[in-house]
């Protein structure tokens, strides 16, 4: 797996190990750290390889499946790392596909709802081609993923690789970084620190929020199936940013208030997956309620912030 030390990747490593698999996790900690996988390092079926996927991939022995997750994923990260993001999506995906082709392994690209850009249809179905600004700041991510999708399909057609694409919609859960800039960790951090929760625009823009355990289940099922996709994975249930902020204030028991701030450029108004394909092809749909997921996430972020505070004071 590439990007296995990241937020989703570390949960996927745990799931594959729990199912009896051997896992080789390739990561260069560009947007993560050892702390996400430290608890796995002594596991007899876990191997870690510190490596940039753009430099080529080598794995000793047979490989059944290549999950390709390596890429900066949060807007804060990809706007800060534009060239690294384009390279991970292009050269990185190419190398991961070459590895799959050379090992006769299955391949799964974790693409994104951002492939749809600022969508003009709602909810988004897989046959919608999207509304992407190819030269805007977010294009480094959107277009890299769209190129990765095209490359994956080309390997499927011309190299006979059992390669698949999923488009992941907003996913949340434990091990998100408190500073990754996404709405949930930002709101939780602000609520725990008693600061105002900064909601962008008028707060009516919505996101659909899928809990990471459900997402990981979808990735495993997609890899095991025959279909090449793309298949949307996410929660069809939408939450407005204003509602989410209020919810987090309530669950953290915070006395913080909500503050409206300007919206970033190209920030999509709404995104909601149509998951009919995932339901029909994989029998998959998210099971965890947003509230349960938020509770787990708050516990994890709060312990991370406490650790950071004690290191800061130590």
Give catalytic residues, as residue numbers. 141
Cβ proximity to ligand NAD, 238 vs 260, nearer residue: 238
Asked whether the beta carbons of 216 and 99 are under 8 A apart, the reply is: no
Rounded least distance, CB 291 to ligand NAD, Å = 18
- The continuous run of DSSP H or E covering 50 comes out as strand 46-50
Identity of the residue, 91 or 260, whose beta carbon is nearer to ligand NAD in the bound complex = 91
Integer Cα distance of 10 and 212 in angstroms: 10
Rounded Cα distance between 104 and 154, Å, is: 16
Smallest gap, in angstroms, from Cβ of residue 295 to ligand NAD? Answer: 19
The two beta strands, 163-168 and 106-112, are parallel
Nearer to ligand NAD, 49 or 276 (CB): 49
> Which residue, 161, 210, 190, 180, is CA-closest to 256?
190
Instruction: Kindly state the smallest distance separating residue 38's Cβ from ligand NAD, in Å.
Output: 13
Nearer to ligand NAD, 73 or 99 (CB): 73
Half-sphere exposure of 70 (CA within 13 A, CB side): 31
DSSP annotation string for 183-228: HHHHHHHHHHTTPPEEEETTS--EEE-EEHHHHHHHHHHHHHSS--
Q: Measured from the CB of residue 269, what is the shortest distance to ligand NAD in angstroms?
A: 17
Q: Which residue is nearest to ligand NAD (CB)?
A: 6
- Nearest CA to 169 out of 122, 109, 215 is that of 215
Instruction: Give the residue with the Cβ less far from ligand NAD, 196 or 238.
Output: 238
Note the residues at the interface with ligand NAD (CB under 6 A). Answer: 2-3, 5-9, 27-32, 52-54, 69-73, 77, 88, 92, 110, 112, 168, 170-171
In the complex, least distance from residue 194 CB atom to ligand NAD, rounded to whole angstroms: 27
Alpha-carbon distance of 233 to 278, in angstroms, equals 7
């Amino acid at each position: 797996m590439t990007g296995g030390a990241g937020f989703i990747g570390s949960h996927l490593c745990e799931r594959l190990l729990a199912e009896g698999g051997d896992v080789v996790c390739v990561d260069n900690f560009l947007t993560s750290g050892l702390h996400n996988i430290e608890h796995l390092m002594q596991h007899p079926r876990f191997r870690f390889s510190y490596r940039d996927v753009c430099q080529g991939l080598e794995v000793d022995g047979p490989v059944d499946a290549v999950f390709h997750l390596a890429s900066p994923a949060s807007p804060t990260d990809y706007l800060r790392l534009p060239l690294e993001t384009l390279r991970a999506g292009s050269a990185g995906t190419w190398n991961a596909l070459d590895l799959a082709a050379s090992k006769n392994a299955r391949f799964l690209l974790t693409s994104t709802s951002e492939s749809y850009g600022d969508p003009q249809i709602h909810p988004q179905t897989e046959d919608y081609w999207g509304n992407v600004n190819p030269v805007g700041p977010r294009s480094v991510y959107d277009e890299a993923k769209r190129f990765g999708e095209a490359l994956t399909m080309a390997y499927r057609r011309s190299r006979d690789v059992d390669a698949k694409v999923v488009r992941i919609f907003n996913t949340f859960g434990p091990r998100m970084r408190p500073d990754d800039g996404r709405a949930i960790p930002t709101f939780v951090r602000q609520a725990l620190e008693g600061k105002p929760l900064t909601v962008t625009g008028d707060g009516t823009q919505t996101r659909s929020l899928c809990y990471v355990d459900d997402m990981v289940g979808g990735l495993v099922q997609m890899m095991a199936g025959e279909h090449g996709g793309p298949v949307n994975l996410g929660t069809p249930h939408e939450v407005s940013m204003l509602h989410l902020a209020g919810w987090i204030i309530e669950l953290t028991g915070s006395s913080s208030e909500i503050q409206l701030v300007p919206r970033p450029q190209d920030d999509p108004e709404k995104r909601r997956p149509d998951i009919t394909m995932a339901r029909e092809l994989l029998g998959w749909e998210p099971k965890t309620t947003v509230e349960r997921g938020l509770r787990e996430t708050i516990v994890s972020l709060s312990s991370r912030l406490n650790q950071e505070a004690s290191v800061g004071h130590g």
